Amino acid sequence: MENLYNEVLYKLNDELNDYDHGEDYPIQSCETIIIIILKALSDLKTIVLNRGFKNIDEEIYFFKYQKPVIVAKLIYYNAVFKLETKKPTETKAIKKVLNKELAKLKGFFNSNLEFYKYYRTNNSFIDDKLFLRGKHDLKLSLDTVYFESDHRFSTSHDFKVAKIIANDQIQIYIEKQLYNLKNGNKIENTSLNWTGSKTALTELVYALYSQGVFDNGNADIKGIAKTLERVFNIDLGDFYHTFMELSSRKINRTKFIDSLRDSLLKKMDEKEE
């Protein structure tokens, strides 16, 4: 299952790279992105229904760690789409809408605090009730969405994990919007804008961090990422999850770094000629 899942995820990320460049007006690409993600989920569902799982552990791992990563993308881009389509034109009204959305995220966190603790501390003692199909427990405060879903491809809590992942990304997006409003929609006066994919820049961030080229190797990954975000006018979102997706690839895990090397060698060869 892991290899098949990685193939779907790799293809999905590759397609999303063509549309997600951290632009200021994402509404123009969100619809296309949502369609792409829905197709990936459909492909994944077909694999699960046709192949199944070899054991309970594989099933739990899939619904706890794998499927939620893709569903979180759907939740995130749908949230961005809805925010952008209903955004007012007046700055004060925009701030009100954004702060209202932040309050909703906080409300979800407060309502699901115990599950947040369970998931984020990597507990597993009731995984058999949360992440196995047909094993739901009504005492565990189930969301209505579970009862309306296809139980062949869902468990009682895989969607809630996806919400946790997505909400972190949505919060970053909203806070960035509020920051831009406060600072005249400008991110420091820089002249360079990153027009490659977020995945590519994330790959570069981790490569620079791994090489220890900043502050004698003492700079942390978050500091490097935030600095490059400011320099290149881009919001990487949850770059840690992007890196985890890169790491899960079985082939071409350093696609961007490899392309940099090839481009540089080509330029050097041109000079020699």
pLDDT tens, 7-34? 898 888 888 877 765 555 467 788 889 9
Give the range of the structural domain holding residue 259, as residue numbers without chain letter: 190-273
163 in a domain, yes or no?
Answer: no
Between 177 and 144, the more confident residue is: 177
Q: What is the number of structural domains in the chain?
A: 1
At residue 78, the pLDDT reads: 93
pTM of the model: 0.69
Q: Please report which confidence band the pLDDT of residue 187 belongs to, taking 50, 70 and 90 as the band edges.
A: very low
Between 233 and 23, the more confident residue is: 233
> What type of residue sits at position 62?
F
Mean pLDDT over the full length of the chain:
86
139 in a domain, yes or no?
Answer: no
Q: Please report which confidence band the pLDDT of residue 273 belongs to, taking 50, 70 and 90 as the band edges.
A: low
242 in a domain, yes or no?
Answer: yes
250 in a domain, yes or no?
Answer: yes
Between 28 and 35, the more confident residue is: 35
For residue 101, what are its two tokens?
Answer: 């959305």
63-119 confidence digits (pLDDT tens): 999 999 999 999 999 999 999 888 888 888 999 999 999 999 999 999 999 999 999
The answer on pLDDT for 170 being more than 50 is yes
- Rounded to whole angstroms, the Cα distance separating 58 from 131 reads 10
Percent of the chain clearing pLDDT 90 (strictly above): 42
260 in a domain, yes or no?
Answer: yes
- Rounded to whole angstroms, the Cα distance separating 236 from 229 reads 7
Between 66 and 233, the more confident residue is: 66
72 in a domain, yes or no?
Answer: no
- Rounded to whole angstroms, the Cα distance separating 31 from 40 reads 15
Going 90 to 22 to 172 to 229, the CA torsion angle's sign is negative
237 in a domain, yes or no?
Answer: yes
For residue 109, what are its two tokens?
Answer: 């966190």
Provide mean pLDDT across the span 238-261.
Answer: 82
At residue 190, the pLDDT reads: 47
Find the DSSP H helices in the chain. 2-16, 27-51, 56-61, 67-85, 91-111, 113-120, 127-130, 144-148, 158-182, 198-211, 221-232, 239-248, 255-272
148 in a domain, yes or no?
Answer: no
Residue 209, Cβ neighbours under 10 Å: how many? 19
Q: Please report which confidence band the pLDDT of residue 154 belongs to, taking 50, 70 and 90 as the band edges.
A: very high
Provide mean pLDDT across the span 190-201.
Answer: 82
